[in-house]
Amino acid sequence: MVVCGHSACGAMTALADDHDLTALPAVAHWLRHADASLARAARAASAEPGAGEDKVSVLVRSNVIAQLANLATHPCVGRGLAAKTLTLRGWVYDIATGAVDQLDPGTGSSAALAA
């Protein structure tokens, strides 16, 4: 199972820039699932200030990792992981270059899958 984020994500941009989403209640409700991502991105930014990655990119990566953790809590996914019949992968697709990075949920580091 793959959770795939992408560069310049509008949803993550709205979160990063704290857009007012009162006119879009369904979007605002859906983005509540990214609360853990906001916290993770804030920790990453404070641990490595000025690391060169923009706020939205950090949030996209953080959200992929947070959603992998969320998926792992679902009973059917947990059973598949325990039985080794299911694997979770986190990818980030860069629209401009076509590059795909695979994320390590434990470390947050990435490795190129395709360039």
Q: Would you tell me which CATH number, out of the four given (3.90.79.10, 3.40.1050.10, 3.30.1360.200, 3.60.20.30), belongs to the domain 2-114?
A: 3.40.1050.10
Over residues 84-110, the mean pLDDT reads: 93
pLDDT digits (tens, 9 = 90+) for 58-94: 899 999 998 999 999 999 999 999 999 999 999 999 9
The position carrying tokens 């795909």 is: 100
What contacts 92, CB < 8 A, 6 or more positions away?
4, 5, 6, 7, 60, 61, 64, 100, 101, 103, 110
This model's pTM is above 0.85: no
Distance (Å, whole) CA 2 – CA 9: 17
Instruction: Domain ranges for the chain, please list them.
Output: 2-114
